Amino acid sequence: MGVSKATIGSRNRRRGQKYEVKIVKELKEITGDEELCTSRSESKKLDDKKIDIADPNNVLPFYCQMKSTQATPQIKKLNEEVGLKDKPLVIFWNAQEAKDKKQISVGEYCIVPKKLFYDILKECYVSQTIN
C-alpha cells in the first residue's frame, strides 16, 4: 500500500516550514533582529510574492526563498516568480536525499547572485584591511 499524494504533500510542506523557521532563527542570531519571522506567520502578501522571510526592519540586503528538495531549485523560475525586485533573491537550499523511506539533508547551500556575492567579499576585504 503506497503513500497518498496528499500525505507526501503535507510532509513536504511541514519540512519546508521547519526549514524556514530554522533559517529565521539563524538569521536572528546573526543580525540581532528579533522581528525577523517567516512570511507565512507575518504577511500573506509577502508569502504570495514568494518571499519566505519577513524583514520589517529591512536589516537583510536580500529577499529569501527556502527550498528543501531533492531536485536543484529552478533558479531562473524562482527569480521570475518573486514579486519584489528592489533587492536580490537568495535561495536557501536544504538538499535532500531519500534514505530508508525518509528524506534526509545532505547539505545546505545558498544560491546568491554574483553581484551580491562580490559585494559581500568586498565588505569582508575592506573590514580586514581596516583592522
Give per-residue pLDDT as tens, 73-103.
Answer: 999 999 999 989 999 999 999 999 999 888 8
Distance (Å, whole) CA 2 – CA 90? 36
With beta carbons less than 8 A apart as the criterion, state whether 30 and 55 touch: no
C-alpha cell at 45: 502578501
Predicted structure pTM score = 0.86
79, 73 contact by CB (below 8 A): no
* 3-state class (DSSP) for residue 6: helix
pLDDT digits (tens, 9 = 90+) for 48-76: 899 999 999 999 999 999 999 999 999 99
Domain boundaries, the chain: 5-130
Q: Is there a contact between 114 and 101 (Cβ–Cβ < 8 Å)?
A: no
